[in-house]
């Protein structure tokens, strides 16, 4: 699949990059959708509250997140849709170093129970 900055340039932008990490900013409006794209292992930090549907093939997951939520995201390929009434604003810190162990990635954010 493709790099989200290339496949969805109106929604993703690179705000920082060096040899170890790349930081992406993502913004969308209600009803906006992304085409399928790939993220390496990443840390996601939500800057706004939002409701989102993530899908990979026939696997679908809906998430509602609040601002200030930080989560580990294993490498994954997905498409997303803003299914809420508010704009989405998220920062992704993508790791460029390969993972030390392999395993099946879960779809979407790993949500910690507060």
Q: Is the pLDDT confidence value at 22 over 50? A: yes
In a domain, 64, yes or no: yes
Can you tell me the mean pLDDT for 20-41?
97
In a domain, 90, yes or no: yes
In a domain, 15, yes or no: yes
| pLDDT range class, residue 103, cuts 50, 70, 90 | very low
pLDDT value of residue 97:
85
Three-state SS string across the chain, please? CCCHHHHCCCCEEEEEECCCEEEEEEEECCCCECCCEEECCEEEEECCCEEEEEEECCEEEEEEECCCCEEEECCEEEEEEECCCCCEEEEEEEECCCCCCCCCCCCCCCCCCC
The pLDDT tens digits of the residues spanning 44-81 come to 999 999 999 999 878 999 999 999 999 999 999 999 99
Q: Is the pLDDT confidence value at 101 over 60? A: no
Residue 55: give its domain's CATH number: 2.60.120.10
Domain that holds residue 65: 4-95
In a domain, 110, yes or no: no
pLDDT value of residue 111:
46
Domain tally for the chain?
1
Question: How far, in Å, CA of 104 to CA of 70, rounded?
Answer: 21
Taking a C-beta distance cutoff of 8 angstroms, is the pair 65, 45 a contact? no
In a domain, 114, yes or no: no
């Amino acid at each position: 699949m493709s790099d989200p900055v290339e496949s969805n340039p109106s929604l993703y932008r690179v705000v920082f990059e060096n040899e170890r990490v790349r930081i992406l900013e993502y913004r969308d409006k209600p009803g906006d959708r992304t085409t399928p794209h790939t993220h390496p292992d990443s840390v996601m930090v939500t800057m706004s509250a939002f409701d989102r549907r993530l899908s990979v093939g026939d696997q679908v997951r809906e998430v509602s997140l609040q601002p200030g939520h930080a989560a580990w995201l294993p490498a994954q390929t997905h498409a997303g849709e803003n299914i809420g009434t508010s704009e989405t604003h998220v920062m992704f810190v993508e790791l460029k170093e390969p993972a030390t162990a392999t395993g099946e990635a879960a779809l979407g954010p790993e949500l910690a129970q507060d």
